Homo-oligomer: A and B are copies of this chain.
């Protein structure tokens, strides 16, 4: 039995789901993988919970709400760098902070501090990696540390694993993905006859779209995932500015209906294609009309999917995977197991 100390950063939907899931899976992880994970610190923007001992939910939460005032484990102002003192080298930072795509913060600083301390990283946040993917990976690799990010690349849908492990030794010749469940849900409802505005409203009423849906419907979420998947699977070093990204905001109902009438469908596709200039790749996100022979044609509603075209293995498509904080938490836990298990 190997016990691994964790710092969890971020206590939003994903952070909470991760902590809950870790508790649920404790016995199973011990039996199946011989692994035990102990949360030594939980870091929020304004301080940390840390006592030098493993934390349980009562140390940082009452009735599911963060508990700070009068809480003996609450250390106002304590940051990752200080919290990491209670985590031995070889432990792991679990980054559940929000994705900020321009500065990459706070994840970027957190990940840097983790690597400085000899910690591995599992992140569900895209920010740091869209800003500094290659630098982070190179530094981790030089230190013999892992940085895994399944939770940031379509969560429970396997993308990077498949491209890096299942397709090892094959040459990937193209990637296409339906990577944003919210946009795909809206387009699916539009295919049933709704206007964009109505489909968005339905999505919002089901909690599928945010009150401000721009991150999803403008293609930013898809673009960020595409950057990470391309960098990991194609060995590139792209940032957000390298993606020609458009979204589905304000998509005319006519376009979707016309596609449907011809037996086709509109999807928000995120694609990496060989660059026309010969060497290298170009990344593109935008609505595309695809026909029923396309392997992502039947990916509907909030479902996601990704297709890899390869030289020796043909075309490989993965679809499904739960889209939710729990799905993201499951992806974080998968990465943790894969960092520490004996394979």
Q: Is the CB of A326 within 8 A of B341?
A: no
A28 to B282, CA, bound (A): 21
Given A166-B162, A169-B25, the answer on whether A327 and B341 have CB atoms closer than 8 Å is: no
The chain B residue sitting closest to A307, CB to CB, is B320
Residue among B169, B334, B337, B338 making CB contact with A337, cutoff 8 Å? B169
Task: Give the contact stretch, choosing among A48-56, A63-71, A209-217, A310-318.
Answer: A310-318
Q: Which residues of B contact A314 (CB under 8 A)?
A: 156, 320-322, 327
Distance of A244 from chain B, by nearest CB (Å)? 27
Q: Is the CB of A341 within 8 A of B168?
A: yes
The chain B residue sitting closest to A315, CB to CB, is B320
A99 to B183, CA, bound (A): 46
Q: Is the CB of B161 within 8 A of A165?
A: yes
- Whether A104 is near chain B, meaning CB under 8 Å from some CB there, is no
A312 to B150, CA, bound (A): 14
Q: Which residues of B contact A317 (CB under 8 A)?
A: 318-320
Q: Is the CB of A171 within 8 A of B28?
A: yes
- Whether A235 is near chain B, meaning CB under 8 Å from some CB there, is yes
Residue among B25, B165, B235, B316 making CB contact with A320, cutoff 8 Å? B316
Most B CB contacts (10 A, CB to CB) among A25, A165, A336 go to: A165
- Whether A143 is near chain B, meaning CB under 8 Å from some CB there, is no
* Docked complex: A162-197 residues within 8 A CB-CB of B: 162, 165-171
- Whether A330 is near chain B, meaning CB under 8 Å from some CB there, is yes
The chain B residue sitting closest to A335, CB to CB, is B168
Chain A window 280-313, contacts with chain B (Cβ cutoff 8 Å), 1 for yes, 0 for no: 0000000000000001011000000001001011
Distance of A209 from chain B, by nearest CB (Å)? 19
Categorize the interface residue count of chain A: 35 or more
Q: Is the CB of B320 within 8 A of A295?
A: yes
- Whether A32 is near chain B, meaning CB under 8 Å from some CB there, is yes
- Whether A137 is near chain B, meaning CB under 8 Å from some CB there, is no
- Whether A333 is near chain B, meaning CB under 8 Å from some CB there, is yes
Q: Is the CB of A156 within 8 A of B330?
A: no
The chain B residue sitting closest to A334, CB to CB, is B168
Q: Which residues of B contact A170 (CB under 8 A)?
A: 330, 334
The chain B residue sitting closest to A308, CB to CB, is B320
Distance of A292 from chain B, by nearest CB (Å)? 8
Q: Is the CB of A162 within 8 A of B158?
A: yes
A121 to B95, CA, bound (A): 37
Q: Is the CB of A235 within 8 A of B32?
A: yes
Q: Which residues of B contact A136 (CB under 8 A)?
A: none
A106 to B96, CA, bound (A): 51
The chain B residue sitting closest to A324, CB to CB, is B314
Residues of A whose CB lies within 8 Å of any CB of B are 21, 25, 28-29, 32-33, 141, 146, 156-158, 161-162, 165-171, 235, 295, 297-298, 307, 310, 312-322, 326-327, 329-331, 333-334, 336-338, 341-343
5 further contact pairs, Cβ within 8 A, besides A158-B316, A161-B166, A295-B319: A312-B322, A312-B329, A313-B321, A314-B320, A314-B321
Q: Can you name 10 A-B pairs with beta carbons within 8 Å? A: A28-B169, A158-B166, A158-B167, A165-B334, A169-B330, A169-B333, A170-B334, A312-B326, A315-B320, A318-B318
